[in-house]
Amino acid sequence: MAKSICFTNQGEIDPRTITTFGVNVKPNSDSPIGYFGTGLKYAIAIALRHRCTVTVQSGLREFRFYPKNVDIRGKAFDLVMMLDGDLPEIELPMTLELGKNWDLWMVYRELLCNALDEGSSLDEAAQVINSKPLATAGLTRVIISGDQFLTEHFARAKWLLLTSPMHKVDSVLELHRGPAQGLFFKNIRISHLPVESAFSYNLTELTYGKLSEDRTLDSHTAMVNLVRAFALSETVEVGLLESLLLAQHGWEKKWDWTWCFSDPSSRFVKVVDDLIDGHYGTINRSAIDFCKSKLSKRTPKEVELTAVQAKMLAKAKQFVAKLGEPIGEKIVVVEDLGSQWNAGLASEGIIYLPKSSFGRGTKFIASTLLEEHLHISKGLRDESRELQDWLFNFVISLGEELQGEPL
């Protein structure tokens, strides 16, 4: 026998769970990785489709699986057949076309998850063996042979988290060293992230949503689980929270904390409150919205302008008004907005300007006022296509006015 992968767990599988769809009797029913009662059937069919051999041992019984070509209404199919010892072959109600969109690595993931759900540790759940072990009372083994499947075992780090956590957030989340392009649940990758994250996040419990039948979670539901883990915890490290709330790039920057669906912890509110004065322009705005009713400090402290700065601001407002966009919003000048790159901020109908912007000239002040005014008056978002389109259309319209006729 060539090298094989052997998946092992305690207890003896009931043969009916192999042959019957929709049967799930896992003992860890509160939070299993899989619970649809379909995965093992998919795994057997897909492994056979990739020309692997499949054997299942349940206690002292051994079941072997193989394809058998049949004709159904003039079309050829490969039915999955099962041998139970010396008994006659059993025709199973599935073909090798089951799980058309599954890849072979998903078979490995399925069998590993089954073993983990049954209480096996990662080390004992999947092992490389050189020969088939004797069937053993009290144990279930799924043995897959094939070079392709062996390759998937050695490449499993692509979807299996094998590192130790750096931080833990209560009983619902672990943080491993990143960056990462996926989210994990019980060390199994379940989501592809739209943007790389700073950490590898491993959920140990889902507090929102459920896995799909192919053990995946959409990125939005994944984000909800993470913001809930951090925003509801009274023990999460303050420095970690600050880094997430001030993230200027990556997936964390895109988190919407208002999707927590519960009141924030007192620790989360305090961290947000403490960050507002020095980081009003860089803190995730949704976190302020999320905690709004509980915050003691909602806006940064206003500073006085010099006579020259006041003239610059007045000229900038007049210039923008002549362009047809009078600034009706309140303008507040503050010491800074948390970063030299933050030239302005639109929040709750108010335009905030850092004092440092005046060192870049009246033209810069005018362009910043126009941008923040557009955010408020027309709802055009930062770095968005709609803002870009508005500006291009505006420039073309100015060109038409200059030449005195439309294009």
Q: Is the pLDDT of residue 30 over 80?
A: no
| pLDDT tens-digit map of 163-219 | 999 999 999 999 999 899 999 999 999 998 989 999 999 999 999 999 887 788 998
Domains of the chain: 4-158 (no CATH), 167-294 (no CATH), 307-400 (3.30.2010)
- Residue 145: helix, strand or coil by DSSP? strand
pLDDT average, residue stretch 128-132: 92
Average pLDDT of the residues of the chain: 88
Q: Which amino acid, one-letter code, is at 397?
A: S
Residues in contact with 323: Cβ distance below 8 Å, sequence separation at least 6, in sequence order: 370, 394, 398
- Whole-structure pTM value: 0.67
The confidence score (pLDDT) of residue 357 equals 87
The highest-confidence range among 38-47, 55-64, 72-81, 372-381, by mean pLDDT, is 55-64
- Exposed (0-12), middle (13-18) or buried (19+): which is 338, by Cβ within 10 Å? buried
pLDDT average, residue stretch 107-135: 89
pLDDT average, residue stretch 221-229: 96
- Residue 121: helix, strand or coil by DSSP? coil
pLDDT average, residue stretch 276-300: 83
Token representation of residue 229 = 């883990």
DSSP string, 207-254: SS----TTS---HHHHHHHHHHHHHS-SSS-HHHHHHHHT--SSGGGG
Tracing tokens 């006729």 back to the chain, one arrives at 405
pLDDT average, residue stretch 337-344: 70
On whether the CB atoms of residues 309 and 364 are closer than 8 A, the answer is no
Q: Is the pLDDT of residue 300 over 80?
A: no
Would you place residue 22 in the very low, low, confident or very high pLDDT band (cuts 50, 70, 90)? low
The confidence score (pLDDT) of residue 299 equals 66
Long-range contacts of 269-276 (CB under 8 A, 24+ apart): 269/294, 269/295, 271/238, 271/241, 271/242, 271/245, 272/245, 273/297, 275/242, 275/245, 275/246, 276/300
Would you place residue 298 in the very low, low, confident or very high pLDDT band (cuts 50, 70, 90)? low
Residues in contact with 170: Cβ distance below 8 Å, sequence separation at least 6, in sequence order: 229, 233, 235, 236
DSSP string, 147-190: HHHHHHHHTGGGTB--SPPSEEETTTEEEEEEEEEEEEETTEEE
Q: Which amino acid, one-letter code, is at 257?
A: W
pLDDT average, residue stretch 128-147: 93
Among residues 251, 232, 234, 244, which one has the least CA distance to residue 284?
244
